[in-house]
């Protein structure tokens, strides 16, 4: 494995390495009962579907600037997304290129979090078959870190440090001594959000075959990871929880969703472009289109929490406030492991594409 880092990943304010102190109970399972067939078949699937990142078509020419120019991103930002000031084509291309690099960079950092969290799950989960599966996931996550790092440093040569909200959430997931919280945070929330985001990336980067291939492969792995989380937690939560234990889980879900929403804000992009924060950050975070896109990221998380019995009145009220409760009727990861973009999102994109096509026809007619 060898590649050129044309532009190393920038460091966060906290420095080159991060330390999280945590005390966990490491559990040996001397029974080796291996009785959870669903977990074991997931493990078999994980082994069978391993792939090697070095075999991807790394020689592909990736030119995000050209793609953005050809897609007329200035029209997208100005007309469809109602930018607060009209952007010229060059400014619009830069914004798209940086947004793309930021999104992929946060995938990279999230993948490192997943690598560390699953290594911790190997130690802390009480059943041998779950340890087996978690071990296969550790390998998957190392490969995901490798792929995104290579794509960002070799192909894009533009990347971002970890978003502070994502860093806080990852630290909390790793620090917590309760094994189910590691699962809940990583497998259900962070990976659930990533699955929806990957689906979105596939739709928006249709013209780039390398990232399409990477995303398809990673999504197949991630859908197993989320299913692993749902299966294991279902077993854990089948036992009666005390009122206090349940309240702790609810608090965690509410705090983590808040941090995940913040992780999707794009202040770092605007700062890096040197544009005034006002009005650009507000537009990126709060315009109806962007807000709807951000909500879409929760389309897999909400039904999975419902399956786990964690859509309690408190959590439900929280999601109602965030306007996310409508996703409770989407399919969860057991019913549908492969993620489909929600109907609502497809509708938005179809409308958008029809509009672009119409505008292009008009422009041709005028020419």
What is the C-alpha to C-alpha distance for residues 25 and 64, in angstroms, rounded to an integer?
A: 46
What is the C-alpha to C-alpha distance for residues 219 and 321, in angstroms, rounded to an integer?
A: 29
Helix axes 191-204, 343-366, angle to 10 degrees: 20
> Which is nearer to Fe ion, 52 or 239 (by Cβ)?
52
Dig out the tokens for 21 from the structure: 């102190």
Least gap, CB of 44 to Fe ion (angstroms)? 18
Using CB under 5 A, count the residues that bind Fe ion.
7
> Which ranges of 8-154 would DSSP assign to H, the alpha helix?
37-48, 64-70, 73-75, 89-124, 128-150
> Which is nearer to Fe ion, 73 or 194 (by Cβ)?
194
> Which is nearer to Fe ion, 98 or 225 (by Cβ)?
225
Cis before 279 (ω within 30): yes
Cis before 290 (ω within 30): no
Least gap, CB of 180 to Fe ion (angstroms)? 17
> Residue from 68, 87, 95, 114 that binds Fe ion (CB under 5 A)?
114
Least gap, CB of 222 to Fe ion (angstroms)? 5
> Residue from 98, 143, 225, 306 that binds Fe ion (CB under 5 A)?
225
Which residues within the stretch 194-223 sit at the binding site for Fe ion (CB under 5 A)?
222
The 10 Å CB-count burial string (b at 16+, else e) for 256-290 is bbebbbbbbbbbbbbebeebeeeebbebbbeeeeb
109 binds Fe ion (CB under 5 A): no
Residue carrying structure tokens 């594409």: 353
> Which is nearer to Fe ion, 114 or 169 (by Cβ)?
114
The answer to whether 155 and 62 have CB atoms below 8 angstroms apart is yes
> Which is nearer to Fe ion, 95 or 145 (by Cβ)?
145
144 binds Fe ion (CB under 5 A): yes
Least gap, CB of 121 to Fe ion (angstroms)? 11
224 binds Fe ion (CB under 5 A): no
The answer to whether 143 and 56 have CB atoms below 8 angstroms apart is no
Least gap, CB of 186 to Fe ion (angstroms)? 8
Least gap, CB of 114 to Fe ion (angstroms)? 5
Which residues within the stretch 179-198 sit at the binding site for Fe ion (CB under 5 A)?
191
Dig out the tokens for 30 from the structure: 């001397």
> Which is nearer to Fe ion, 144 or 294 (by Cβ)?
144
> Which is nearer to Fe ion, 144 or 263 (by Cβ)?
144
Least gap, CB of 157 to Fe ion (angstroms)? 23
Point out which residues bind Fe ion (CB under 5 A).
111, 114, 141, 144, 191, 222, 225
């Amino acid at each position: 494995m060898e590649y050129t880092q044309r532009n190393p990943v920038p460091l966060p304010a906290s420095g080159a390495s991060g330390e999280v102190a945590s005390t966990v109970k490491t559990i040996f399972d001397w029974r080796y009962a291996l009785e959870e067939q669903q977990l074991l078949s997931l493990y078999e699937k994980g082994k069978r579907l391993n792939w090697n990142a070095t075999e991807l078509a790394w020689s592909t020419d990736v030119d995000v600037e050209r793609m953005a120019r050809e897609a007329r991103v200035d029209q997208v930002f100005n007309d469809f997304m109602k930018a607060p000031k009209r952007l010229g084509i060059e400014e619009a291309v830069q914004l798209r290129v940086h947004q793309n690099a930021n999104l992929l960079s946060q995938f990279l950092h999230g993948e490192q979090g997943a690598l560390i969290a699953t290594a911790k799950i190997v130690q802390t989960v009480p059943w041998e078959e779950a340890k087996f599966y978690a071990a296969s996931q550790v390998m998957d996550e190392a490969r995901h870190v490798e792929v995104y790092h290579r794509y960002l440093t070799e192909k894009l040569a533009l990347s971002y440090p970890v978003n502070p909200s994502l860093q806080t959430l990852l630290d909390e997931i790793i620090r917590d001594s309760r094994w189910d919280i590691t699962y809940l945070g990583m497998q259900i929330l962070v990976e659930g959000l990533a699955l929806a985001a990957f689906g979105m990336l596939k739709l928006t980067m249709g013209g780039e075959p390398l990232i399409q291939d990477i995303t398809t492969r990673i999504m197949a792995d991630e859908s197993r990871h989320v299913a692993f989380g749902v299966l294991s937690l279902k077993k854990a939560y089948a036992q009666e929880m005390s009122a206090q234990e349940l309240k702790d889980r609810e608090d965690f879900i509410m705090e983590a969703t808040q941090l995940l929403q913040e992780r999707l804000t794009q202040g770092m992009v605007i700062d890096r472009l040197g544009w005034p924060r006002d009005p650009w950050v507000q537009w990126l975070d709060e315009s109806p289109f962007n807000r709807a896109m951000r909500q879409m990221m929760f389309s897999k998380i909400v039904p999975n929490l419902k399956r786990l019995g964690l859509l309690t009145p408190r959590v439900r009220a929280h999601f109602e406030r965030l306007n996310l409760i409508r996703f409770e009727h989407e399919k969860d990861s057991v019913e549908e492991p492969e993620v489909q973009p929600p109907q609502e999102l497809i509708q938005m994109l179809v409308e958008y594409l029809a509009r672009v096509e119409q505008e292009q026809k008009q422009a041709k007619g005028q020419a």
